[in-house]
Each structure stands twice: as C-alpha cells, then as structure tokens.
C-alpha cells in the first residue's frame, strides 16, 4: 500500500513527545524502519498501520482522517493560488459574507470579521475554487472552515 500516512505518524509522534527510538520500542520496528515510514520511503501495509495506531494511542481510522484533512487543505490551497486575482477576490468576498452570517447565527462574543480593517483583508488567504452555483456544499464548508481557522489565528495574533 502506498504510504500516505508517514507525515501523520511523524506529527503524532512529535505531539506525544516521542523520539523515533521511543516509537521503536512501542512498535518493535527498528529506528531506521520508522524513519523510512515517516519519510514515506517505505510503504505501509494494514498491519503496520494497526501497529502504529496502537503505539500512538489512536485508531487507524483517525490516521486516515488526518491524512485526508491534510490532502484537502493542500488541494484547496493549490486551487486558490491558481485562480486569477478577480476570481480570488470573488472567493474572498463570498467567504467573508458567509463567515459574517455564521458569526451572527452563532451569536458569539468573538470579534466579528466586520471589525477587521480592510487593510487586514490580505491576511485572509481564502482557499477555494471560484464560487459558482455548481460548487458543492462540502467545498463551501471547507472554505468556511478554513476562513474560520485563519480568523482565529489572526485574532490570537492581535490579542498578543
């Protein structure tokens, strides 16, 4: 099986403050094998995935969900970055409008995107294809999730 989980395994290992040597003891794999898996130089089979999941205290399903999330985010970035500036502005305006609606629906105490200066607009790298009616709800949700994430990052920086 093609190794799409190497980076996820590495990230989880580091989050848990484990070295490759520590993970080696938990999995029974050599440190070299772990390095090859993490760097995607060696494929993973179903048994490998189960062993890593157990050692890292997660389910195999979570490993795949994390990999899928990373894939979607990088795909959206690619699409957005390849749009012309006019289409990027359309995407930004749509996402900004939807974020305002979402904030109003949630009736949250967080700073609304309305309070962000127009000069800060460039901060938000909205990621999506242009917003025609044929865009799926899933794609729109991905856009909104990304915008919310960027907004939260921006607000944290402003509060520091």
Q: For residue 137, how far is the Cα from the chain centroid?
A: 18
Tell me, yes or no, if the pTM score tops 0.75: no
pLDDT band at residue 83 using 50, 70 and 90 as cut-offs: confident
User: What are 12-53's pLDDT values in tens digits?
Assistant: 999 999 999 999 999 999 999 999 999 999 999 999 999 999
Domain 6-68 is classified in which CATH homologous superfamily?
A: lambda repressor-like DNA-binding domains (1.10.260.40)
CA dihedral 10, 12, 15, 16 (to 10 degrees): -110
| Residue 108 clears pLDDT 50, i.e. is over it | no
Decide: 95 and 144 in contact? Cβ < 8 Å. Answer: yes
Helix (H) or strand (E) holding 81: helix 60-81
pLDDT of residue 119: 38
Domain boundaries, the chain: 6-68, 83-159
């Amino acid at each position: 099986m093609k190794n799409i989980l190497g980076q996820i395994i590495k990230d989880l290992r580091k989050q848990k403050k484990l070295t490759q040597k520590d993970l080696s003891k938990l999995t029974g794999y050599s440190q070299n094998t772990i390095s090859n898996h993490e760097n995607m130089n060696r494929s993973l089979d179903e048994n490998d995935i189960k062993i890593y999941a157990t050692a890292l205290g997660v389910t195999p399903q979570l490993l795949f969900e994390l990999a899928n999330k990373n894939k979607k985010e990088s795909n959206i970035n690619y699409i957005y970055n390849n749009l012309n500036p006019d289409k990027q502005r359309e995407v930004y305006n749509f996402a900004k409008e939807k974020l305002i609606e979402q904030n109003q629906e949630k009736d949250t105490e967080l700073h609304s995107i309305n309070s962000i200066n127009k000069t800060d607009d460039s901060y938000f790298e909205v990621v999506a294809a242009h917003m025609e009616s044929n865009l799926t709800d899933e794609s729109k949700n991905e856009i909104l999730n990304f915008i919310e994430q960027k907004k939260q990052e921006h607000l944290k920086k402003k509060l520091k």
